Amino acid sequence: MGMLQDKVGIITGASSGIGRAAALLFSAQGAALVLNARGEAALADVGDVIRAQGGQVRIVAGDAGLPETHEALVAAAVSAFGGLDIAFNNAATIGPIKPLADVSVVEWQQTLGSSLTSAFLGSRCQIPAMLARGGGSLIFTSSFVGTSVGLPGMATYAAAKAGLMGLVKGITADYAAQGIRANALLPGGTDTAMAGDEAQKEWAAGLHAMKRIARPEEIAQAALFLASSMSSFVAGSALFADGGNAAVK
């Protein structure tokens, strides 16, 4: 029996990086999954891997910044697997890397849309389905950027990620007594396409007490903790999985 046996989960941003690693891990731990990303081909590849390993999965490609995408994801979870227990709202983009005064209104809106608004849109669809099952776990991928530090040129990204902490606390105030656990996962630098080239990864490694960046699988393991019953009394929290980054500034 896996840690997520007989559970049903949604993962956004599941075609690569942390989302892909979480999809493979959650499936291996027994969860039936509905996966989302904008890139349908890469998303389908993740689904093929899960099916080849005996897992249950449905694919819903689309933009997580649109309400209809989340409506389709929850509908797929309910119709294919009978309900929803876990949602890992992981989709995001870095957005513009430049000083705040140089950021356009469109860039600002797009960055907040991909990280913060998508999390709002997801949770407002996911919560009713979880309440119908007696509760569930909502996980949001935040960041050390905006919560413990600011980095040059990343004010827009920082604002979006910091906003997720307010969302987590608000959901906890509204729904924790009804069995909904909302928590934020705060990775440090992680070896994904968003991490940049080798020079950028080496620079990021120096920010961490452990002097390296994470593998996506390491962040997925932290997400598994929040998704599983091991975190049954964890709600409204910020779980740093950042190699000591926030501790050494």
- Catalytic residue list: 157
Q: What is the chain written as a DSSP string?
A: --TTTT-EEEEESTTSHHHHHHHHHHHHTT-EEEEE-S-HHHHHHHHHHHHHTT--EEE--S-TTSHHHHHHHHHHHHHHHSS--EEEE--------S-GGG--HHHHHHHHIIIIIHHHHHHHHHHHHHHTTT-EEEEEE--SBTTTB--TT-HHHHHHHHHHHHHHHHHHHHHGGGTEEEEEEEE-SBSSGGG-SHHHHHHHHTTSTTSSPBPHHHHHHHHHHHHSGGGTT--S-EEEESTTGGG--
